Amino acid sequence: MKPNEQSDLFSPSPLGRAEMERAFLGKDASYDGLFYAAVTTTGIFCRPSCPARKAKPENIEYFASAKEALFAGFRPCERCRPLDGGGDRKGDEAAPGWVRALVDRVEAEPSRKIPDAELAAEGIDPAAARRWFLRNFGMTFQAYCRSRRLGAAFRSLRNGSGLDDAVFDHGWESHSAFRDAFSKAVGLPPGAARGTDFVRLAWLETTLGPMVAGATETAICLLEFSDRRMMEAQLRTVASRLGKPMLPAESPLIDELKAQLADYFAGNRTVFDLPIDYPGTDFQRRVWEGLLKIPYGETRSYAQLAAEIGADGASRAVGTANGMNRIAILIPCHRVIAADGGLGGYGGGLWRKLRLLEREGSAGALNRP
């Protein structure tokens, strides 16, 4: 095969070669999962972010999946390990079986403590559980359990239960331990929680990886991919903007969100009809409301969106506000692309943006030289 030639036996990534080349040579991790680069002189294929020294452009072939690179005769790089997590980021960070089992156990008995010794006795490394939950949920497993108990206790207080019931029915050994944990997490003494709303947090499994959802009693206020770099900042912003504490808890609205997302990913839904709450500056809200008007299956450039909301020339500011959207998919910031037909940016990862556009049938708007 001649340099820069791609075998007809394998489908190249839908991105153009020039864009893939820039990403690979620049070690751009945001492209991980969108394509794989194989070096003909070494017989090795890598993720775009591979820290290894890069080859000359004429010695690189590109593939849409790790599977295709393997079938082409290339072996996986030992440094970036492109096969880890299934090799294709469609399933990146999917929860292993023991994680799902732990979450199910906590949800079945949210008031029960699960000490590290119990995990170890069942063959689960407590350190591995800590790392996985911290990386994907933003808190350790023990913090998740504790927050889940707090959320149940908070709901009990709001429903009129006495303090003794909230304490002892939800796994706390004393009033002082409960009061300290509650005040630290919620910012209120337990007695002040009666009649106070809070943001219920839940973790959802989707075909594009786990997401964190948040809802008040009346609206969805958060939907983010759990591995987003700004996740912790987004959580703080939501709590600050709404003036409400955040705790893991059940929510009928989140249950309905799960159902509607499942329909969307199955190709059976093009419009969401859930109440949403997206506090922000006046300009941010104008941008987000503009996003809500972009129909399923269509895209806009940042400049086009700026013009549509009456802010000609403010495409950079529109891009910034677009990136601050805290309700992914429902407020479709993925439908805004670069003026030259490139993907532009996306807080949840460019590979997810491409998958969402492909799912909606609008990936054809992308420039693929």
pLDDT at 83: 64
Asked whether the predicted pLDDT for residue 308 surpasses 80, the reply is yes
pTM across the whole model: 0.59
Strands of the chain (E only): list them: 36-39, 44-46, 60-63, 75-76, 199-204, 211-215, 220-225, 246-248, 300-301, 336-337
pLDDT, tens digit, for every residue of 199-209? 887 778 888 88
- Indicate the residue among 193, 211, 238 that finishes a domain: 193
Question: Does a structural domain hold residue 9?
Answer: no
pLDDT at 88: 38
What residues make up the domain containing 181? 97-193
CATH number, residue 67? 3.40.10.10
- One domain, residues 237 and 310: yes
The 10 Å Cβ neighbour count of residue 78 is 9
- One domain, residues 226 and 369: yes
What confidence category does residue 86 fall into, taking pLDDT thresholds of 50, 70 and 90? very low
Choice between 96 and 272, residue whose per-residue pLDDT is larger: 272
- Indicate the residue among 68, 88, 108 that finishes a domain: 88
Choice between 135 and 120, residue whose per-residue pLDDT is larger: 120
Q: What mean pLDDT value characterizes the chain?
A: 77
* Calpha distance 35→24 (Å, rounded): 9
What confidence category does residue 28 fall into, taking pLDDT thresholds of 50, 70 and 90? confident
Question: Does a structural domain hold residue 11?
Answer: no
pLDDT, tens digit, for every residue of 234-250? 777 787 788 777 776 77
The 10 Å Cβ neighbour count of residue 365 is 15
Question: Does a structural domain hold residue 118?
Answer: yes
Catalytic residue among 77, 145, 221, 333: 333
- One domain, residues 297 and 348: yes
For residue 50, indicate whether it is catalytic: no
**Domain total in the chain:** 3
User: At a CB cut-off of 8 Å and minimum separation 6, what does 229 contact?
Assistant: 347
CATH number, residue 122? 1.10.10.60
284 and 324 Cβ atoms separated by less than 8 Å? yes
pLDDT at 267: 92
- Indicate the residue among 175, 193, 211 that finishes a domain: 193
Asked whether the predicted pLDDT for residue 302 surpasses 50, the reply is yes
Choice between 280 and 186, residue whose per-residue pLDDT is larger: 280
CATH number, residue 320? 1.10.10.10
Catalytic residue among 46, 80, 145, 221: 46
- One domain, residues 278 and 344: yes
Average pLDDT rounded to a whole number, residues 136-149: 71
Question: Does a structural domain hold residue 1?
Answer: no
* Calpha distance 151→185 (Å, rounded): 10
For residue 333, indicate whether it is catalytic: yes
Average pLDDT rounded to a whole number, residues 121-148: 77
